[in-house]
Structure 1
Amino acid sequence: MGDVFSADVSRIRQWQKLMGEITEITDNVVRDFEAEVRACLDWVGQDDSMAEELRPRDIKEREGASNTGRSLTEAVAGISRALNVNGNVIQDAQNNTFDAINNESNKSGRH
């Protein structure tokens, strides 16, 4: 007897929902971070030598943090989309199999 393939679409949907929730949380965190960053842009100074020295690094670090957060959001959203596609493919395969079994049993009168 060969290996048995089994898939629980409801569990895939649960993980998809969880990944969607994590995507939303991550997106909100990035937006909140960016809003808070805008409120403190002049903390490194405005027009003195210290500001001139620190501002480029400060901008680079803030942009890096935002880009990392957006990349994380996109990655988790991609997992959610992949789970959705995977769940649909498995559900379709299961539905087609059940339909084929029912069609054959209706023809022969046996299961």
Structure 2
Amino acid sequence: MGEVFSADVSRIRQWQNLMSDITEITDNSVRDFEAAARACLDWVGRDDSMAENLRPRDKKEREGASETGTSLMLAIGGISRALQVNGNVIQGAQNDAHEAIRDASKSSGKH
């Protein structure tokens, strides 16, 4: 007997929705971080030697955190889109199979 392929499209859709929700949370987190970071730009000082030494490192760390969060958001968004496409392909194949079974049973009288 051949292998059996089975897929539960509703579960794929659940994961797609979850990943979409996580993307939104991640996006909001990046925005919140950037807003909070802007609010405390002067913590390293303004015009003293400590500020001159720390400002470039602080800027680099803030940018790195934003880039990491954005990359994470894009990756999760990509997974969500891939799940959507995968679900659509599987649903289409299942619909085609059911239609073929209906057509075959109509012409043969068996199902």
User: TM-score if structure 1 supplies the norm length?
Assistant: 0.98
Count of residue pairs brought into register by the alignment? 111
Counterpart position of 2:42: 42
Q: Secondary structure at the match of 2:67?
A: helix
- Give the superposition deviation at 1:54: 0.4
Question: CA–CA distance in 1 between the matches of 2:102 and 2:59?
Answer: 64
- Give the superposition deviation at 1:14: 0.3
Q: Secondary structure at the match of 2:4?
A: coil
- Give the superposition deviation at 1:104: 1.0
Counterpart position of 1:109: 109
In the TM superposition, 1:1-111 aligns within 5 A as: 1-111=1-111
Question: CA–CA distance in 1 between the matches of 2:49 and 2:108?
Answer: 89
Q: Supply the RMSD in Å over aligned alpha carbons.
A: 0.6
Q: Which runs of 5+ in 1 are unaligned?
A: none
- Give the superposition deviation at 1:108: 1.3
Question: CA–CA distance in 2 between the matches of 1:73 and 1:23?
Answer: 5
- Give the superposition deviation at 1:18: 0.4
Question: CA–CA distance in 1 between the matches of 2:15 and 2:39?
Answer: 36
- Give the superposition deviation at 1:72: 0.4
Question: CA–CA distance in 1 between the matches of 2:4 and 2:94?
Answer: 14
Runs of 4+ off more than 2 Å: none
Question: CA–CA distance in 2 between the matches of 1:66 and 1:110?
Answer: 61
- Give the superposition deviation at 1:92: 0.1
User: TM-score if structure 2 supplies the norm length?
Assistant: 0.98
